Amino acid sequence: MKKIISNLIFFCLSALLFVAHAQQENLYSFYPYQMQLINAAHTGVEGSMLGVNFRSQWSGFEGAPETQSVFFGTQFGKELNAGISIINDKNLVEKGTSIMLDFSYHLQIQKDMHLYMGLKGGFHQFRANLEGLKTSGVGFDPLQQNVEGKYRPNFGLGVLWKYKSWQASLAVPRILQNSKLVQEADGVSLGNSNLHYYLSGAYEMMLYKSISFRPSIMLRYINGFPISAEITSIFGVHKKIELGVKYRYDAAFGGMFVFKTDWMKMGYSYEAASDSGLNKVSNGTHEVLLHLLF
């Protein structure tokens, strides 16, 4: 009986992983701190920075999504910023690696109003081992037991608008279609990814002499799926410590902690799924960031 229940849970979560991966690529609890990974227009806006991020989603469950990201951005004069972003992720039997060069062009509209236009350009590789689906009972084409994808070119576009303490951005990180496993009624098959649109906004204010408050929102839209909304509120203390709470609509909620110095940011975030059943079989979502400022 225990084995049957275990296999049933694994099957349900495997299907859930496919659905979640189809709707959301490369989720980040710390998205307010590393928007360059999503929108090239943010490259170098805060000066030269090297960032590293590790995310383990639904940890404790075999095959759960994991993402490792590295990015660097710097300024070249008053108008041009450039950098690179590398993202490696895996989900059940899928693996993907993206290597992108990021460029941001700065236009000063008014004294306190700035517009940044971003361009990503690089390559993406997709790999899948469909043999791994046998244990979950998910059907697949036996002629496609392994998918070893080549690096395919891709590019993305984005804009960032900043006015005093306000900012808003819009981005499509990958415009060309990449290979992806697609969930179907009788199993899975090899298909193409959908366009992902990201719209975000943030505002920062001072609540007291040394206490700041920065709410932000991220809206994600993927063709054929409902819009996803993520709200984050971050409180800063003495410009050294930041504490945040977040909520992803109908999916997850959690908190984060960031320690800052003049040359470094270091943080940890924890998320719990809104689905109580998922929380019983996983240890939540953990994310760690490290930023070095130059």
Question: How many domains does the chain contain in total?
Answer: 1
What's the CA gap between 7 and 146, in Å, rounded?
Answer: 23
Query: What is the pLDDT at residue 186?
Result: 55
The answer to the question of residue 51 being in a domain is: yes
Query: What is the pLDDT at residue 16?
Result: 45
CB 58 within 8 A of CB 64: yes
CATH at residue 188? 2.40.160
Contacts of 221 (CB under 8 A, 6+ apart): 196, 197, 199, 227, 228
The answer to the question of residue 274 being in a domain is: no
Domain ranges, residue 191:
2-229+285-293
Element housing 51 (H / E): strand 49-56
Q: How far is CA 224 from the centre of its chain?
A: 19
Tokens coding 168: 């808003």
The answer to the question of residue 245 being in a domain is: no
What's the CA gap between 98 and 154, in Å, rounded?
Answer: 9
The answer to the question of residue 89 being in a domain is: yes
Side chain identity, residue 166: W
What's the CA gap between 46 and 200, in Å, rounded?
Answer: 17
Contacts of 85 (CB under 8 A, 6+ apart): 36, 37, 69, 70, 71, 72, 98, 99, 100, 102, 120
pTM of the prediction?
0.85
Query: What is the pLDDT at residue 263?
Result: 95
CB 86 within 8 A of CB 70: yes
Rounded to 5°, the CA angle 77-258-34 comes to 40
The answer to the question of residue 101 being in a domain is: yes
What's the CA gap between 272 and 153, in Å, rounded?
Answer: 35
The answer to the question of residue 42 being in a domain is: yes
Element housing 214 (H / E): strand 211-222
The answer to the question of residue 257 being in a domain is: no
Query: What is the pLDDT at residue 134?
Result: 55
Query: What is the pLDDT at residue 50?
Result: 97
The answer to the question of residue 201 being in a domain is: yes
The pLDDT profile of the chain, 294 residues, written as one tens digit per residue, is 444 444 444 444 444 444 444 445 678 999 999 999 999 999 999 899 999 999 998 887 777 889 999 999 999 988 999 999 999 998 877 888 999 999 999 999 999 999 999 999 999 988 877 665 555 555 555 445 556 667 889 999 999 999 999 999 999 999 987 766 655 555 555 666 788 999 999 999 999 889 999 999 999 998 878 899 999 999 999 999 999 999 998 889 999 999 999 999 999 999 998 877 776 777 889 999 999 999
